[in-house]
Chain A
Amino acid sequence: MKKVFMPLVMVAILALIPFVGVQYAGLSYLFGVIIPYTAIVVLLAGFLLRLADWLRRPVPFRIPTTCGQEKSLEWIKYDRFESPHRFWEVAARVLFEVLFFRSLFRNTKAEIHKDANLAYGSHKWLWFGGLAFHWSLLIIVLRHSRFFFPMVPGFTDLLSHVDGFFDVTLPTFYITDAVVLVAITFLVFRRLNDAKMRLISLQTDYFPLFLIAAIVVVGVFMRYLTRLDIMPVKDQMLRLVNFSVDAPGDIGALFYVHLFLVSVLAIYFPFSKLMHAGAIFLSPTRNQCNNSREKRHINPWNTAIKFRTYAEYEDDYREKMKKAKLPIEKQ
């Protein structure tokens, strides 16, 4: 249980730091300018370095994970997307994986039944919860673009409109806010609910969930309960995207909690499992064509070996072999 409570306590402390810092120590410059800039630099540099590191690793052989017939002879039907052999097929497979989590859709669950039979069954909850979580986060982040552009891009305006479809509460309730909270709750309880999952879950599995939950909860508080004054927030964000280092105006301390937790998330990102966001594109098991039958792949860093063929051997020893009455291929 320490594995669960430690991250929880850490997130609570992280949330308290900016609150105390801004409310009682007046450190709004630190939390509104210095830390956000630091966070974005660490995120971008860290992300790129991790990608560069992965790209540098040689992958000489084809190791894609497939679950379909590989392309071989003309008259054998092959499976384009389960065993892709062209670039665009690979790209489509990666894209569908990223957008719809296809491999999670195949998730199964093993159970021992009362009569001691082992049974496997389809188990779509993780797929569904994960999809709800990621899509909601994406939509929320896209909606946030209204803080960073002087004129809000029409696309995200439409998105906010659709998201606020129910048109209840003031300001309008966004569906994704509820969906993401339900999804995070599910994802946490999924780990807590099962002995096997409890065993394999680490602090680093709970921490990002709690951190994102805290960001969302604080955001929801600001929007629906304390009704934050947006004007100075927008001023400040426009300053940040214009690389200005001017001090922020008078913004509520709760906003700094939101911003600081987001900064922590950004800094944590390149060092953690959250890098799966970049890694999914670079996984050799996903981004390679399965074309080993079409094309010979030679390991480029094999040391050159001098081979000696049997014909050469015979050339060297022909006379001796004749004398010893050994059979020879070429007279």
Chain B
Amino acid sequence: MEVMMKSRKLLWLVTFAAFSIVVALYVFRNGEAELSQKPLARVSAIDSTKCIAPKEFMRANHMQVLQGWERSVVREGDRVHIASNGSRFQKSLGTCLGCHNNRLFCYNCHSYANVKPKCWNCHLSPMETP
């Protein structure tokens, strides 16, 4: 009986500890997200003449790149993307869509794969531009 009570208490303790760690991680995750007071770093203008990475890479990883952009722009005010070859780009959907200007550019694959990110909740979708 004694042993059972002990193991039971231990179990609760472990559960509680794991839970606290998760909560703590979540709470302190925002520490890095202090609103920065420095002025937004910008590249002079949107340059849509070349791609920021090879096609194959972008096909498989554009979601990571865009999510990274969203975070670093909104949370850190960093608007400059430095490509692996050193060239600099403005972190903006406009950088991509300026050249990939087919209205169905996003839609075609996303509707096939039934992937519906909520980009267009805020941003203007290419399907909606005149």
Q: Which residues of A contact B (CB under 8 A)?
A: 146, 150, 152, 157, 167, 170-172, 189, 192-193, 195, 227, 229-231, 233-234, 250
Nearest residue (CB) in B for A146 is: B114
Which of B15, B63, B118, B121 interacts with A189 by CB under 8 Å?
Answer: B15
Chain A residues with CB under 8 A of B116: 171-172
Considering the chains assembled together, what is the distance between the CA atoms of A233 and B60 in angstroms? 12
Q: A189-B11, A189-B15 are in contact. Are A195 and B114 (CB under 8 A)?
A: no
Residues B117 and A170 in contact, CB atoms below 8 Å apart? yes
List residues of chain B with CB within 8 A of the CB of A193.
8, 11
With A193-B8, A231-B109: A171-B115 Cβ-Cβ less than 8 Å: yes
Decide if B25 is an interface residue (CB 8 Å cutoff).
no
Tell whether, in the assembled complex, residue A152 and residue B63 are in contact, meaning their CB atoms are under 8 Å apart.
Answer: no
Q: Does B113 contact A (CB under 8 A)?
A: yes
Q: Cα distance A233–B63 when bound, in Å?
A: 16
Tell whether, in the assembled complex, residue B114 and residue A152 are in contact, meaning their CB atoms are under 8 Å apart.
yes
A150 proximity list for chain B (CB < 8 A)? 112
Q: Is the beta-carbon distance between A229 and B118 smaller than 8 angstroms?
A: no
Asked if A234 and B112 sit within 8 Å, CB to CB, the answer is yes
B87: Cβ under 8 A from any A Cβ: no
**Chain B interface mostly:** helix
Residues on B with C-beta less than 8 A from A234 are 112-114
- A171 to B118, alpha carbons, bound, how many Å? 8
Q: Which residue of A lies closest to B119 (CB)?
A: A170
Report, as a range, how many residues of chain B touch the other chain: 20 to 34
Least CB distance, A256 to chain B, in whole angstroms: 16
Task: Answer yes or no: B30 CB below 8 A from chain A CBs.
Answer: no
Pick 20 A–B contacts, CB within 8 A, sort by A: A146-B113, A150-B112, A157-B114, A170-B63, A170-B67, A170-B70, A171-B63, A172-B116, A189-B11, A189-B15, A193-B11, A195-B4, A227-B61, A227-B63, A229-B60, A230-B113, A230-B115, A231-B112, A234-B112, A234-B113
Taking a contact as CB atoms under 8 Å apart, the answer to whether B11 and A170 are in contact is no
Distance of A228 Cα from B25 Cα, bound (Å): 24
Q: Cβ of B64 < 8 Å from any Cβ of A?
A: yes
Q: How far is the CB of A49 from chain B (nearest CB, A)?
A: 35
B59 at the interface (CB under 8 A from A): yes
A-B interface, 9 closest residue pairs, ranked by CB to CB distance from nearest: A146-B114, A230-B113, A229-B60, A227-B63, A152-B114, A234-B113, A195-B4, A231-B113, A227-B64
Bound Cα distance from A91 to B93, whole angstroms? 56
Q: How far is the CA of A170 from the CA of B64 in the complex (A)?
A: 10
Given known A-B contacts A189-B15, A192-B11, A195-B4, A171 and B113 have beta carbons under 8 A apart: no
Contact partners of B115 in chain A: CB under 8 A: 171, 230
Which residue, A157, A170, A193, A234, has most C-beta atoms of chain B within 10 A? A170
A45 to B64, CA, bound (A): 42
Q: Please measure, in the bound complex, the distance between the C-alpha atom of A150 and the C-alpha atom of B109, giving whole angstroms.
A: 12
Q: Are A231 and B59 in contact (CB under 8 A)?
A: yes
Q: Which residues of A contact B64 (CB under 8 A)?
A: 227
Which of chain A's residues has its CB closest to B114's CB?
A: A146
Question: Within 8 Å CB of A171, what residues of B?
Answer: 63, 115-117
A146 to B64, CA, bound (A): 22
Known contacts A230-B113, A234-B113; A167 and B4 CB within 8 A of each other: no
Please report the C-alpha to C-alpha distance between residue A231 and residue B70 in the assembled complex, in whole angstroms: 23
B122 CB, min distance to chain A CBs, angstroms: 12
